[in-house]
A and B are shown apart, each in its own frame.
Chain A
């Protein structure tokens, strides 16, 4: 049987490609993109205000609501802003760690650091958020540590959301940058040094441009994960983010929830197209 199949495929590359791609494409195109298409269509439906039943005719009502209601504009603005801040924060914290791991640490130190960065990735997301919730609460360790200095922690709110999300997604930024830096041959760095560049110049003119696509790759995760998270905002703030509004409307107003879900889809597809241009896909 397998021999006969193999003979069938022999010298027929098109047939081989078809056989290889049939499963993955059925799953991703028909299943996944199909589901997204259904969601997109549902975004144009509406809900009968009296009976609460779905009206399946198409209208732009939901998108008008999103554009005209200041509440939604604020929520979208806040979510995108926090996502950008989290991405920036993570890039700043991750780069030195990744750089040390890739180019400075000994072989042994590197191995230890890789494992040290991977372990938090394996510990429960919820429990990490919970840990921050207790740390930031009134009687928590943050206030306790800051009290002798006469300071107090940020408490719950946007600052807490920014802090906790930066914390949660940091490993997703460290790992691609580390891998990206590892790919830069040491000889390039030596060449720059031998030609008389100061470490800062070498960093700015050689390392940073080569590592930039990896930073963009990491940013895809930090940005996307922040854009959709509704649990962290719920646990460490009273503020609404896109995810919260989708979650709250899903059972009462599915069309509006779907229209809101289109926002992160559009934002992320735009982000991915730019990221691909910058060569980030090689680093994911």
Chain B
């Protein structure tokens, strides 16, 4: 778009201010992770590196990290299957109630986490008589992760011309072979980006988790919450948080590369193919999937 020099300057200022708003709290947080005192005053009286080794050796935090990894992986896997199935049905078939599916899929993430959490925990304990455990957490997380996969898949399927699938069928492939060798490969990057976002959502979730987790189990956010109010633990919590942010840069970068690669090889030929498509960590230009 052609903009005057003044408008460009104005726009750049707005972007810079917005990014400052986003990053200042993260930077402050990172600085506190090096704080020599465990009293959170500004400016910190001195800096130290001691919290990082302590954070890495904090056994409960490590266990909680592994629990979170496990919960997020299984929830993502379930969401991948259910989200893809629903997307295939809606994008490739016409049937009664098709319009309601998107509504239904969005509902678990559009309703506040506390509603989902209370509803599920109520059903588990009062109706089904199931004890709360990591399994119930996974069910809760998978429920709100489906939408991310569904949206990414459906955006890709809509852009993907059906002529490839028709050609495959004409050449004698059965329904399964067409899906396995034609449809699925061209959905790969959309699914990858969606899965990463679903994983991230599940990994950081606390509200649904609080209501559905069993006694004696901890995900990382639950561990952080339990240690927030212990003055001695606070610097370690800050260090753990910084470590998690650093670890998370890698998947964001991978998601970005994943979708860029696809762009280069043109693996997703589409009716309305345009240049300059950017997808990263679940961002699709055709439809963004966000929680």
Contact = CB atoms under 8 A, between A and B. Distances in A.
Contacts of B115: 36, 39, 228, 261, 264-265
Contact of B143 (A27, A127, A172): A27
B285 A127 contact: no
B119 A261 contact: yes
A175 B283 contact: yes
B41 A139 contact: yes
A88 interface: no
Interface stretch (A58-66, A69-77, A95-103): A95-103
B252 A141 contact: no
B28 interface: yes
Interface in B101-115: 101-115
Nearest to A261: B115
A77 B127 CA distance: 33
B42 A141 contact: yes
Interface string A12-34: 01101100110110011101111
Contact of B122 (A10, A42, A99, A114): A42
Contact of B25 (A6, A14, A135, A144): A135
B135 interface: no
Contacts of B104: 28-29, 33
A127 B286 CA distance: 32
B221 A6 contact: no
Interface stretch (B46-54, B160-168, B182-190, B241-249): B241-249
Given A176-B290, A182-B278, A225 B112 contact: yes
Contacts of A137: 40
A212 interface: no
A32 to B, nearest CB: 6
Contact of A34 (B123, B251, B276): B123
Nearest to B22: A120
B112 A227 contact: yes
Contacts of B95: 14, 17
Contact of A118 (B21, B26, B112, B252): B252
A246 interface: yes
A12 to B, nearest CB: 10
Chain B contact residues: helix, strand, loop or mixed: helix
Nearest to B19: A116
B15 A182 contact: no
Nearest to B10: A96
Contacts of A100: 11-12, 14-15
A189 interface: yes
A281 B102 contact: yes
Given A124-B241, A175-B283, A189-B1, A284 B85 contact: no
Nearest to B17: A93
A187 B85 CA distance: 36
Contact of B89 (A21, A94, A176): A21
Given A3-B174, A13-B93, A243 B114 contact: yes
Given A130-B237, A140-B40, A250 B118 contact: yes
20 contacts: A21-B101, A23-B82, A24-B83, A28-B146, A93-B18, A97-B15, A104-B1, A115-B253, A116-B22, A116-B23, A119-B252, A122-B248, A123-B26, A123-B241, A124-B224, A125-B221, A128-B25, A130-B238, A140-B42, A182-B278
Interface of B: 1-4, 7-8, 11-12, 14-15, 18-19, 21-23, 25-26, 28-29, 32, 40-43, 81-83, 85-86, 88-89, 93, 95, 101-116, 118-120, 122-123, 126-127, 139, 142-143, 146-147, 151, 174-177, 200, 204, 206-207, 211, 220-221, 224-225, 228, 237-238, 241, 244-245, 248-249, 251-253, 256, 274, 276-278, 280-281, 283-291
**Shortest 3 CB-CB distances between A and B: which pairs?**
A228-B112, A6-B174, A122-B248
Given A39-B118, A139-B40, 17 more contacts: A16-B93, A24-B83, A24-B105, A31-B143, A32-B143, A42-B122, A119-B245, A120-B23, A122-B248, A123-B245, A124-B224, A202-B1, A220-B106, A221-B291, A247-B114, A250-B211, A284-B106
